[in-house]
Every structure is written in structure tokens, then in C-alpha cells.
Amino acid sequence: MKKSFLGPFEWLLIAGTFACPLLTAFFSPDSRSIFANWEWWLTFVASILNIFCCVCSARGNSWTFLFGAIYNALYSFYCIKTAHYGNAAVYGLFFLPMQLVGWLRWRKIGTLGDSDRVAAKLLSARQRILLLSAVLLGMAVLLLVLKYVNGRDIVVDAICTALCVLGQTLLTLAYFEQWFIWIAVNLLTVVLWVLSFFNGGYNLSDLNLAICYFFVLLSSLNGLRVWLKLSKGVTD
């Protein structure tokens, strides 16, 4: 019999992502206008979709791509509005279509035994060096582009964007090393939205995303643990 692909820890992450923004908004002095703000609801819904995407990804479950597709569309739209153009481009033009590619790729790779989890792979030393070189070059190019278009928080945005492309590529191809990338990305994304919150007039929509990515960061740490087992052909 197959176990549920969501365990107690994953449900705790989902509950935290759901409850924390609601409590923050509820106890805000301006709670009525916050709950009437469509941007707040957009980031709240996006946050819930993102945590489901991440816990499914951490479990090696292909449902991650459905949640990811909807989340990427919403997140990209919000990033355009807040002038985080690097994130907007990578989530809208790269991540969104890659959800279909990833789903098809995982079906081709197959699962472990009678589980619904993908069979994970490991990068070679040569592949790691090539990918690191490509990411550093990408960061430099993105920094110049974001400076040219007057983006916000361009250093963090450029680093996050380059690492996101690498992380999504490794996720699509089911490589274990993706989780080191996602841990760095999610930590930097928390920083990005905290900076945006303080520099952008204390917008609780930005705080929603900072809270979301804190829980996503915890999910990434769990993903590292689970995929280490998957790379050895073991399931929980």
C-alpha cells in the first residue's frame, strides 16, 4: 500500500504558510483595507500554491508541476508590478513552460518500485564545474541587464534568478544536487522580500512572500534529506 505523500512535517509547513499571513494581517491596525487588497490575496494564494509545489517536489512527486505552473504565473505577475524584473522573467518565461517539460521528463525517467516518487540522479564532477561556471556568467549578465532597466534590489535579484534557472533545470532532470541550489535560492528570496517590505512602504503582500519562502526554505532542507535517499534508490 502506498503511503500518503504528505507527512506531518509537510502539513506543518502548509499550516504555517496558511496561518502566518492571516494572523499578520488580522492583527495589523489596517486589517480591513489589507483584506480588501487584491495584491494581498494574490500573494496569499500564490504562497499556498508554492508550499504545495515545494513539499511535492521534496517528496519527488510529479504533482509539483501542476502547483508550480499556477504559482509561477501569479508570482511573475506580482514581480512585474514590484519591479523585480529578473524574477518576473525567469518565473514567467522559463519556470512556467518548464513545468510541462518537467512533468513529461519525470514520466520518462520513471519512479522507484511501486512508489510514486521519481528516481533521482547525481551530477558528475565535470557537470558540477560546467554548471557553476555558467551560473557565475549568468549572474554577471543579469546584473548588467537589471541595472539597465532600473530594477529593485538588483544584486539579490540577479543571484536568485541565475540560481533559479539552474535549480529548475536540475529539478526537471531529477538531479539530487538541485536541493543545495534551492536552499540558497529560498534563503536569498526571503532576504529579497524582506528588503522589499522595508524599502517599499511596509507592504504586507511582500511580507506574505517572505513568510512563504521561509517555510519553503524549511521544505528545501527536508527535500535534501528525502532526495539523498531517492538518489540511492530508497523511499521513506
Indicate if the pLDDT at residue 26 is higher than 90. Answer: no
Evaluate whether 205 touches 40 at the Cβ level (below 8 Å). yes
User: pLDDT (tens digit, 9 = 90+) per residue, 208-228?
Assistant: 889 988 999 999 998 888 888
Within a 10 A sphere around the Cβ of 43, how many other Cβ atoms? 26
User: Full-prediction pTM beyond 0.85?
Assistant: no
pLDDT tens digits for 30-84?
888 888 888 889 999 999 999 999 888 888 888 889 999 999 999 999 989 888 8
Exposed, middle or buried, 85 (CB in 10 Å: 0-12/13-18/19+)? Answer: buried
pLDDT reading at 115 higher than 60: no
134 vs 31, 36, 48, CA distance in Å? Answer: 45, 44, 32
pLDDT digits (tens, 9 = 90+) for 132-160: 899 899 889 988 988 888 777 788 778 88
Residue 201 identity (one-letter amino acid): G
What is the CA angle 36-195-30, rounded to 5? Answer: 25
- Between the alpha carbon of residue 139 and those of residues 12, 38, 84, the distances in Å are 34, 33, 15
C-alpha closest to that of 152 among 94, 214, 78, 217: 78
Residue 36: phi, psi to the nearest 5? Answer: -95, 0
d(CA 172, CA 68): 12
Average pLDDT over residues 99-106: 86
CB atoms within 10 A of CB 15: 12
Q: Cβ(203)–Cβ(196) under 8 Å?
A: yes
Please list, in sequence order, all residues whose beta carbon lies within 8 angstroms of the beta carbon of residue 57, skipping any fewer than 6 positions away: 64, 68, 171, 223
Torsions phi, psi of 175, nearest 5? -95, 135
